[in-house]
A and B are shown apart, each in its own frame.
Chain A
Amino acid sequence: MPEPKITMQEVEQVARLARLALSDAEKESMRRELDGILSYIDKLRALDTEGVPPTSHAVPMTNVMREDEPVPSLPQADMLANAPDRSGEFFRVPKIIEE
């Protein structure tokens, strides 16, 4: 049997990085599915890309700048309108720092 492309430990580590809570059943199907996808993607390894520059952007464009002039942004009320939990002009969240 070929080496698994991704281990359960890696699935858990990546889920932590991606801030995704996965059930045990989800982790197992995730491991299987990612394994299949990564095996397919492995065909890229056969391709010689020595000396080929990476393309991050289809159309050649470099840093697009604008004049440093303030322009109206969105009103604060609009920005807070979708807040799940709001306290005055703040978005309220659970505590960040562990006791």
Chain B
Amino acid sequence: MLTDLTIHELAGLFRRKAATPTQAAREYLDRIAALDPKVKAYLTVTGEAALARAAEADARFQAGAPLSPLDGVPLGLKDVLCTRGVRTTCGSKILESFVPPYDATVVARLQRAGAVVLGKLNMDEFAMGSSTENSGFFTTRNPWDLSRVPGGSSGGSAAAVAADLAAATLGTDTGGSIRQPAAFCGNVGLKPTYGRVSRYGLVAFASSLDQIGPFTKDVEDAALMLQAIAGHDPKDSTSATVPVPDYAAGLGRGVEGLRVGIPAEYFIDGLDPEVESAVRAAIEILRGLGAKTESVSLPHTEYGLAAYYLIGPAEASSNLARYDGVKYGLRVPGSRDLIDMYSRTRGAGFGAEVKRRVMLGTYALSAGYHDAYYGKAQRVRTLVQRDFQHAFERVDVIVAPTTPSVAFKVGEKADPLSMYLNDVFTIPVNLAGLPGVSVPAGFTRAGLPIGVQVIGKAFEEETVLRTAKAYETATEWRKRKPELAA
């Protein structure tokens, strides 16, 4: 089945004319129709547009002139990315009917590469959550066990790749929202260095933390996706002018002599023993491939979560102030005045977690509390960054668990704080702005995926990816697929 294949395998078939983009798009759309009622990854499926774009790609391959390695490849996009003329909800009722008048830069780049967009994927509302249970519409299910969550906030993006409902997808990661669902769903999930990928058209949650990145079936695909979306954008003043290398070129270099740091603080009491043993086995494999491992210390790890739950909500409270019922989105009728309209609209349109974070952020920034909370958190952020800087004086990459546990059951983590603890190993990487990838590292006895995380220095995605690739090549996790019957 074409839907089993990676991007690079599909591209090979297209080039050899052994299959066409229209065939691939049709197979994916059929599979979505058959299985998505169970997985619930998609919020919007753009079938007609996808087939039209696939037909255009067919012609290009006929003429032997593909646009890029992604030409004709069927992809899904997290519904936090603006797509011109296609409803974009951010998983929120407040934007239930919002149709953006422009494409996000990453979307435009994928279009120019010839990719075929299958639709928009479910997520925790405004990217706030770790399970996709905060979606204003429904909860996506983990394809490996439909009673469990796919992780979040990019749950739809992860589930779609795991269930072969897209060849690859884009998600976003502010505190772990690509890496954690990738670990829960057995995908490769990459968060690039902050600034590597343009945020123009990414509906903002926390502007100093948000990054867009791919979910893929293997590491080579992640390199191809990153290649298509990375690079400076004059429309995003936080995007970096650092040149974009050829990410696929050095993938096979291996890890001989690579210095790998194992952070002591990530191997704590609360870590699931099966996750720990899979990660330690991964480290052994890297050693066997010629990497040199040593223990490193990131002493402020435990404070990262607390700092994040001040910085993130503070920035969110500012970014979400725009949802006021004036220019777009929901407006609750019958208000007595403007302020009443704002309050009732936001009260009706935002879900509980969003309200909680807006409240927390507003509080942390308010007069009298600003320094004690937000100011303090920013200083802790400096300490977290410095931890990584010191460690990276001695090692090239850091290898650690992605999450403390595997996918939990829907409804299991009712307490907000217990939900936040899912991101304890991913958050520090966002605070420091570094690149991180989660790759499949095995399964629990119960058959649930486990992820291992590789963290690198700023703008060293090549080193991160080649480490991940070396490990992946030495293992066979990617051959296992969830059992999903129609």
Contacts and interface: CB of A to CB of B under 8 A. Distances in A.
Contacts of B344: 21
For chain B, give the interface size range: 35 or more
Contacts of A38: 360
A36 B417 contact: yes
Contacts, number: 165
B252 interface: no
A75 to B, nearest CB: 8
Contacts of A58: 194-195, 208-209, 385, 430-434
Contact of A59 (B193, B326, B327, B337): B193
Interface in B269-309: 300, 302-303, 306-307, 309
B152 interface: no
B416 A59 contact: no
Given A17-B362, A55-B385, A58-B433, A94 B338 contact: yes
Contacts of A36: 415-417
Given A43-B303, A79-B101, A14 B336 contact: no
A49 B346 contact: no
Contact of B342 (A19, A30, A57): A19
Contacts of B237: 61, 64
A33 interface: yes
Contact of A81 (B101, B209, B376): B101
A55 B101 contact: no
A66 B234 contact: yes
Interface stretch (B56-64, B351-359, B396-404): B351-359
Given A6-B363, A30-B359, A84-B330, A43 B341 contact: no
Contact of B346 (A21, A66, A84): A21
A40 B355 contact: no
A18 B306 contact: no
B346 A95 contact: no
A43 B308 CA distance: 13
Given A59-B240, A94-B337, A37 B360 contact: yes
A26 B346 contact: no
Interface in B95-143: 97-99, 101-102
B99 A47 contact: no
Interface string A55-77: 11111010010100000001000
B427 interface: no
Interface of B: 97-99, 101-102, 193-195, 208-209, 234, 237-238, 240, 300, 302-303, 306-307, 309-310, 317, 321, 324-331, 335-344, 346-348, 350, 352, 355-356, 358-360, 362-363, 366, 373, 375-383, 385, 415-417, 420, 430-434, 458
12 contacts: A11-B359, A20-B358, A21-B343, A22-B355, A26-B355, A43-B303, A55-B379, A58-B195, A59-B238, A78-B102, A79-B327, A82-B98
Given A20-B346, A47-B383, 20 more contacts: A11-B359, A18-B346, A20-B343, A20-B350, A20-B359, A21-B346, A26-B352, A30-B355, A36-B417, A40-B309, A44-B306, A49-B383, A52-B379, A59-B195, A59-B458, A64-B237, A82-B329, A84-B326, A91-B327, A93-B326
